[in-house]
Amino acid sequence: MSYRVTFVCTGNICRSPMAEAVFRRHVDEEGLDVEVDSSGTGGWHAGDRADSRTFAALRRAGYPSAHVARQFEPGWFGRYDLIIALDEGHLSDLRGMAPDGEAAARVRLLREFDPSAGADLDVPDPYYGGRADFDHVLELVEAAVPGLLDEVRAALKDR
């Protein structure tokens, strides 16, 4: 059975689709048995494509993406080995909907996997910004992915 990772932000149109695309490419390149997807804590954009600026930032960096937004459902906790929140608000929301402590412990912040992140572990929401904000989010995601890959490789060895 595949190891399953999901990324969660607010509306699933900016940050989490970026993280999904970046992480998916890395696990595919390594041939890891990992399923990757994403969703949002809210359903405002469910069924919509990712923000055009998200697609543009991903394209500029060479990442493919064909994303459609969806909302995270409390019943999904059993589906995932890791649920990666993009900021403290998402972390709190997700842990609040977790059915038990074990499920809540599977919710982690993306930037905790970046050793250079310091104390600020939030990936800022670029929605009200411009190109530079989306590019900055992509840089933060890319910085955290190696540490997340290490975590997933270790978990796969323990299976």
Instruction: Point out the residues that are catalytic.
Output: 9, 15, 125
Looking at the DSSP bridge assignments, the partners of residue 9 are 40
How far apart (Å, rounded) are the C-alpha atoms in residues 132 and 42? 25
With 0-12 / 13-18 / 19 or more C-beta atoms within 10 angstroms meaning exposed / middle / buried, residue 47 is exposed
* Contact yes or no for 131/57 (Cβ under 8 A): yes
How far apart (Å, rounded) are the C-alpha atoms in residues 100 and 118? 29
Backbone phi, psi, residue 71, to 5°: -100, 135
